[in-house]
Amino acid sequence: MLSVASANHTETFTELGKRGLSAEEVGKRLSRQVQRYLKSKACVDEYTADQLLLPMALTGGGELTARNISEHTRTQAHMIQQFLPVKIEFDEHLIKIRYTRCAFRKKQLPI
């Protein structure tokens, strides 16, 4: 496990070993994960991005950059938009969450 701390958050990376895989190789894989993240200049890794969508949608929206926008993140965004009055947009590595106008129609109940 390796953590990269910045002013606003700490991003943690893990790599698990398995039978037949040397400790050196596990360390190299972990190092490559961290290097990709640091080179990207993104705020969060793709695994953190999908976890932040719901809290951001519930607390007023915002923007963040992710190293990669995964299909899981896109699916999460689609599901959130089905239940909350938000619009989630993707632009390369940028994710934007904003509230949309929420208008409820009053239905007339048959008497």
Task: List the chain domain ranges.
Answer: 1-40, 41-111
1, 12 contact by CB (below 8 A): yes
Query: Which H or E run contains 11?
Result: strand 10-13
Average pLDDT over residues 34-41: 86
46, 38 contact by CB (below 8 A): no
Amino acid 104: pLDDT: 47
Q: Which of 9, 72, 78, 93 is catalytic?
A: 72
- Whether the predicted pLDDT of 47 surpasses 90: no
List of residues 6+ apart from 94 with CB closer than 8 A? 63, 64, 65
33, 24 contact by CB (below 8 A): no
Identify the band that residue 93 occupies on the pLDDT scale cut at 50, 70 and 90: confident
Active site residue 72: yes
> Would you list the DSSP string of 41-95?
T-SB-HHHHHHHHHHHHHTT-EEEEBS---HHHHHHHHHHHHHSSEEEEEETTEE
64, 43 contact by CB (below 8 A): yes
Mean confidence (pLDDT) of the chain: 86
